[in-house]
Amino acid sequence: MQRLKYERELTGFYISAHPLTRYEATLSALSTTTTAGLKDCGDGSEVKICGIIALVKSMLTKKGDRMAYLTVEDLHGTTEVIVFPDLFRTAGELIAPERIVRITGTIDRGDKGTKIRGGKIEPLAEVQMQAIKRIRISLMDRPELPQQLPRLRDVFLRHPGSTTISMLFRTDANWEAETNPLPNLTVCPSDHFVSEVEEVLGKGALSLLS
């Protein structure tokens, strides 16, 4: 993350990777839309969007209260979020560049484009730990599967928690079957857990269900 921060500061964009890539499964589970999808949301509708704060422009109102305009970036683009004084007072410690957050707000369409009027800002990692109730892991009928399963079990044991796991088995013949939650086995759905599972099985093998 520190290297990516330096890349962004020096060049204006990320070079070696995007800091949200490791959260890809989480973004899908905990967002109601993306920056690209905001154009399809009605004016005044509530949205939940996950991303990294790229830029903060803070200022004082006429009453002397602090507010801010945030540029929030996800894997599809950027959007502007308005943080009014009430929200700034309760979430001020999260309003800083490079913070990865989930923002709940309402669509505000105006002459200068679409913005989000912020209502709530939460650390994404914290939301992930609290909101994910079940994890579904997809397994393909492949020759390497017998070697993958022991490695997968080791990942489970390294990340104990309270979230249940089910397994979805698939074959090339488009046959699939999902197990009930695995007995006596629960995990912590952290981004480290997700990364380790994807290291064993590949991208897209895991779904986070809230």
Using one digit for the tens of pLDDT, what is the confidence trace for 54-78? 899 999 999 999 999 999 999 888 9
| pLDDT (0 to 100) of residue 141 | 85
Q: Among residues 33, 29, 79, 70, which one has the least CA distance to residue 191?
A: 29
| 2-123 has CATH 2.40.50.140 classification | yes
The encoded tokens of residue 60 equal 């004082």
What is the C-alpha to C-alpha distance for residues 33 and 38, in angstroms, rounded to an integer? 7
User: What are the residue ranges in the chain where pLDDT is below 70?
Assistant: 1-19
Residue type, 130: Q
For the entire predicted model, the pTM comes to 0.77
CATH 2.40.50.140, the chain: domain bounds: 2-123
| pLDDT (0 to 100) of residue 157 | 94
- CA-to-CA dists, residue 186 to 4, 176, 180, angstroms: 33, 23, 13
Beta bridge partners of 67: 59
Phi-psi region of 91 (alpha: psi -120 to 50; beta: other; left: phi over 0): alpha
Per-residue model confidence as pLDDT tens digits over 109-143: 987 788 999 999 999 989 988 889 999 999 988 88
| pLDDT (0 to 100) of residue 29 | 87
| pLDDT (0 to 100) of residue 95 | 95
Compute, in degrees rounded to 10, the torsion defined by CA atoms 116, 121, 126, 130: -80
